[in-house]
Structure 1
């Protein structure tokens, strides 16, 4: 399952949302030791959070789908 970190509470906890099951208005608090962090930043999500302090659930779903599709595409290229 993929999600976007939408807020960092402290060095130990973050708030995540995926725009589907876990909406922006009801994020899940997660301990970092339970997550596998990926070094990917979605500029659309970052810009939205900086401008308004919010991000739409549609934008979260779009960012996650774009990432998953990119990973699948790269995996197929390596397999060929």
Structure 2
């Protein structure tokens, strides 16, 4: 499965980082491990988020090496936020 992160562009969650769980033509289901877990993903219109194309390799390996669970996703999002704030 391809690992993609997304940044929310509008709404009350503006500038929040998510992992794309599932994407269809017009909507995507996003998770961040805290407020939107694997059991309760956020459904968001594709016009309202931007896919992050350059993901650091340590973030990708964090997700690929571990089972997909809320803790892994939360740590990967946190690691990505730290990498962009350097």
The TM-score with structure 2 as length reference comes to 0.67
- Please give the residue correspondences for 1:1-80 in structure 2 after superposition, counting only pairs within 5 Å: 1-8=16-23, 10-39=24-53, 40=55, 42-46=60-64, 55-73=68-86
Partner Cα distance (2:65, 2:29) in 1: 18
Residue 37 of structure 1 aligns to a residue whose secondary structure is strand
TM-fit CA distance, 1:45:
3.0
The TM-score with structure 1 as length reference comes to 0.71
Task: Name the structure where helix makes up a greater proportion of residues.
Answer: 1
- Aligned residue pair count: 67
Task: Name the structure where strand makes up a greater proportion of residues.
Answer: 2
Extract structure 1 runs of 4+ deviating beyond 2 A: 40-48
Structure 1, unaligned stretches of length 5 or more?
A: 49-53, 74-80
TM-fit CA distance, 1:44:
4.0
